[in-house]
Amino acid sequence: MSDGNPTPPVHVEDDVSTATTTSDPAAHDAHVALEREVALLLRRARAIQGRLAGELHRGLDGAAYGLLVLLDDAGPLRASDVVVRLGLDKSTVSRQVASLVDAGLVDRVADPDDGRAQVLSTSAEGHRRLSEIRDARRARWEADLADWPTDDVASLAALLGRLNRLGEAREAQVRGTAPADD
């Protein structure tokens, strides 16, 4: 029975009902270090994403950059799919789509299967600009990690991919949907 107060949403980070803890101090320390390093990585990623958005088009914010990357990687998507995949609210996505369309970086057309819905795709200009930025980022990674053995770079990429799939599965579980296939 409801007391009239809305139930706050459960956030993935708050749902520890399936989490396990360990009595192994080394494992605990490893997870503490992981959390710290991932938090630092995410802070830096947000700052970089904002800067890259500005390089794409003056005045774009970081969320618009992330949306453009998703469209370029995943191909044409309905606006509602973008909302789910990015985990943003509909108004935020709508605002970011409008700024990307106005900048000529995204094309928006009516969904042929449902005229009320929109299908979004990276425009030729959006793909060109994004490719230039991504090429420059890859060159920077190659320069920064030039002293790393190729196997270490490949292992890092594989481990980050594994961590991302885990996060996607957890978010899908909370939403009650299947993870997105990218």
Kindly report, residue by residue over 60-119, the tens digit of the pLDDT. 888 888 899 999 999 899 988 998 888 888 998 999 999 999 999 999 998 888 888 889
Phi, psi torsion values for 143, nearest 5 degrees:
-70, -45
Mean predicted confidence (pLDDT) in 139-153: 96
Question: What is the pTM (predicted TM-score) of this model?
Answer: 0.73
Residue 173 pLDDT level (bands cut at 50, 70, 90): confident
Could you give the domains of the chain? 31-165 (1.10.10.10)
| Distance separating alpha carbons of residues 17 and 175, to the nearest angstrom | 16
Instruction: Tell me what pLDDT residue 10 has.
Output: 47
Element (H, E) at 107: strand 106-111
Amino acid (1-letter code) at residue 71? L
